[in-house]
Amino acid sequence: METQVIFNTDLHFEHVQWNRELSFWEDELKSFNKRLEELVVRWTDKEVLANLEHYQNEFILQDKRIDELQEAIQVHETRIAALSKAKKDALDTQTVKKHFEFRNKMETQRQIYADLKKEFFRFLSKYM
């Protein structure tokens, strides 16, 4: 069995990519909220307004989730930085395990967000 060495720079690279993705989602949510504002003044139908409220709540939840993920990345980055400062470029198994668990969280969140976008775009195409 071959031992694989994972370096701080490898995980840092992935963190940077995740932060960029999360920042993009934040920008998209701002745009989606502007669409909601446009629709609120256009529609008085209670069903449409209920759907608008649903999406508003979903976007609030997504925004909170993005903040949580960004904070978790920062905590992990701080741990990696401390290891680098201690001249430990290869990571311990616990740090790598946490990183892989976080990677799974990101993949799950990516799918949840993509599904929400698809649903919202279908809604927009119906009511814009």
3: left (phi over 0), alpha (psi -120 to 50) or beta: beta
Indicate if the pLDDT at residue 27 is higher than 90.
Answer: yes
Rounded to 10°, the helix 46-85/93-127 angle is 160
In angstroms, rounded to a whole number, what is the distance separating the alpha carbons of residues 96 and 119?
A: 35
What are the domain boundaries of the chain? Answer: 8-127
* Average pLDDT for 67-71: 97
pTM assigned to the model: 0.86
Nearest CA to 128 out of 29, 51, 66 is that of: 51
The residue among 114, 83, 86, 111 whose CA lies nearest residue 99 is: 83
Average pLDDT for the chain: 90
